[in-house]
Amino acid sequence: QQQVRQSPQSLTVWEGETAILNCSYEDSTFNYFPWYQQFPGEGPALLISISSVSDKKEDGRFTIFFNKREKKLSLHITDSQPGDSATYFCAAMPNYNVLYFGSGTKLTVEP
């Protein structure tokens, strides 16, 4: 059973548009949700994260919106740039040293 789900699988936006990446999870006890960005051939890097006590977290052009009741999150990337083209993974922490990752959304930003 997949604990963390992401949609869409791939997304293409034009430069300057807002990209919206979606994530949902199964277990209501999950309380920490990081998003990782991965470029081809590299390891992922932490982009932004949110805990379940917040409903919004902003860092520059990246914003997480969190709906605890519906067990859903979304990552909004405003003013998308070609350099943002990467795969984005949503993750959830079931316990202190374990992280479940979603299947990822491959974002392409066209110039």
State the residues that interact with another protein by CB under 8 A.
32, 34, 36, 41-46, 49, 89, 93, 96-104
Q: Which is nearer to another protein, 65 or 101 (CB)?
A: 101
The whole-angstrom separation of Cα 47 and Cα 38 is: 10
Q: How far is the CB of 26 from another protein (least distance, A)?
A: 15
The nearest distance, CB 107 to another protein, in angstroms, is 14
By beta-carbon proximity to another protein, the closer residue of 38 and 74 is 38
Question: Whole-number minimum distance, CB 96 to another protein, in Å?
Answer: 4
78/87 with CB nearer another protein: 87
Query: Distance between CA atoms of 55 and 73, rounded to whole angstroms?
Result: 9
Closer to another protein by CB, 43 or 111: give it: 43
Q: What is the dihedral of CA 78, 81, 87, 88, to 10 degrees?
A: -20
Distance between CA atoms of 38 and 28, rounded to whole angstroms?
A: 27
**Angle CA 84–8–31, to nearest 5:** 85
The minimum distance between CB 16 and another protein, in angstroms, equals 28
Residues in the chain: 111
